[in-house]
Amino acid sequence: MNNLLVSYLAAWLFVLALSLGSMANLMVHQLTGGRWGEPVLPAWAAASRLMPLVAIAALPILVGARWIFPWVHEPGRWLNLPFFEARSVAYLVILSVLAWLAPRRPKLAAPGLLAYAFTMTLASFDWIASLTPHWYSSGFGLVVGTGQMLAGAAFGVAVAGRAWGGREDEGTRLRFNDLGNLLLMYVLTWAYLAYTQYLVIWSENLPHEIHWYVSRTQTGWAGLGIFLIAFHFFVPLLILLSRAAKRAPRIAGAIALALLVAHFGDVYWLVMPSVRPDGVSIAWSDPVALALVAGAWWSLWRRSLRAHPLNPEALAHA
């Protein structure tokens, strides 16, 4: 039961990042404006609308929390099951309302981003960090939130790269150049925050802080860390520094798709070493849960896109 629920938790966090990251990037575009968003706005809006369904999909995690989180056996004032469930429902309601309103109420973009940052910071501690109950980091919420925004941006660019791949006009190249720069910014920000968190904890060398990294750097999980350094940072960084690569929709889409794969690796890195601290252990339920949850999300996203076709310029100026 524990392995099955943990596998489901990782898969659910992945699709959560797609919906919330799309919502956050949609709000960023509403604040900044510009034609750079035209290729990705429909994909982001359709993904945002799925957030209420993603929230409902959290039910197995809330019901099965006693089999996932170790603090259930030593409850405290903050980490106790009734309060955890109540907070989780509140987070999901807030995020669902924000995501549903994001494509419709551009004037809510600024307060919406603030609400997203605050809510997801708390939620990241409850849903991820509390798998290691006595560990904490003031930067953890920023790392998770930036990862979600990177995943949302990558999803939009991956979809747009396929849809706009046949276009060779200069306007298309300019739009994808901007989208490539957006991906580059997120890659750099995620890497900076993740490294800063590690550096601060390594420098302090306090037992209650370093044990989160011990299972991730001194066991087989270190290999996944190396994968993330390479494919969530260095390789996309080098490619995205190329102006020609960013301006080609198909190449930009391929880079974005690879970043989505790397993002699931990041989710796996955040979750699995906490519950399987002795080394790399991939349960049969891990790929099954990912395939089922991500497949269901993708199917619903396609229906959402078809049911609510959007004119990007109308969306940007709604």
Is 156 within 8 Å of 105 (Cβ atoms)? no
In the predicted structure, residue 6 carries a pLDDT above the cut 90? yes
Dig out the tokens for 253 from the structure.
Answer: 């889409």
In the predicted structure, residue 1 carries a pLDDT above the cut 60? no
In the predicted structure, residue 86 carries a pLDDT above the cut 80? yes
Element (H, E) at 57: none
Report d(CA 46, CA 163) in Å as an integer. 15
The pLDDT score that the predictor gives to residue 247 is: 94
Of the candidates 92, 72, 228, 255, which has an alpha carbon nearest to the alpha carbon of residue 147?
228
**Residue 277 DSSP symbol:** T
Residue that the structure tokens 């900044």 belong to: 32
In the predicted structure, residue 151 carries a pLDDT above the cut 90? yes
Element (H, E) at 292: helix 285-307
The pLDDT score that the predictor gives to residue 309 is: 60
Report d(CA 53, CA 253) in Å as an integer. 26
The pLDDT score that the predictor gives to residue 308 is: 66
| Percent of the chain residues topping a pLDDT of 90 | 80
**Residue 49 DSSP symbol:** T
The pLDDT score that the predictor gives to residue 165 is: 82
Residue range 225-248, pLDDT digits in tens: 999 999 999 999 999 999 999 999
Of the candidates 101, 123, 126, 124, which has an alpha carbon nearest to the alpha carbon of residue 112?
101
Residue that the structure tokens 């699995």 belong to: 272
pTM above 0.75, yes or no: yes
b/e per residue, 261-274, with b = 16+ CB within 10 A? ebbbbbbbbbbbbb
CB-based burial label for 300 (10 Å; 0-12, 13-18, 19+): middle
The pLDDT score that the predictor gives to residue 207 is: 80
Task: Supply the DSSP string of 71-111, one letter for each residue.
Answer: GGGS--SSS-HHHHHHHHHHHHHHHHHHHHHTTT-GGGHHH
Sign of CA dihedral 220, 223, 224, 225: positive
Report d(CA 87, CA 83) in Å as an integer. 6
Task: Supply the DSSP string of 221-238, one letter for each residue.
Answer: THHHHHHHHIIIIIHHHH
Of the candidates 74, 13, 64, which has an alpha carbon nearest to the alpha carbon of residue 289?
13
Report d(CA 112, CA 150) in Å as an integer. 18
**Residue 168 DSSP symbol:** -
* Structure confidence at residue 167 as a pLDDT band (50, 70, 90): confident
In the predicted structure, residue 219 carries a pLDDT above the cut 70? yes
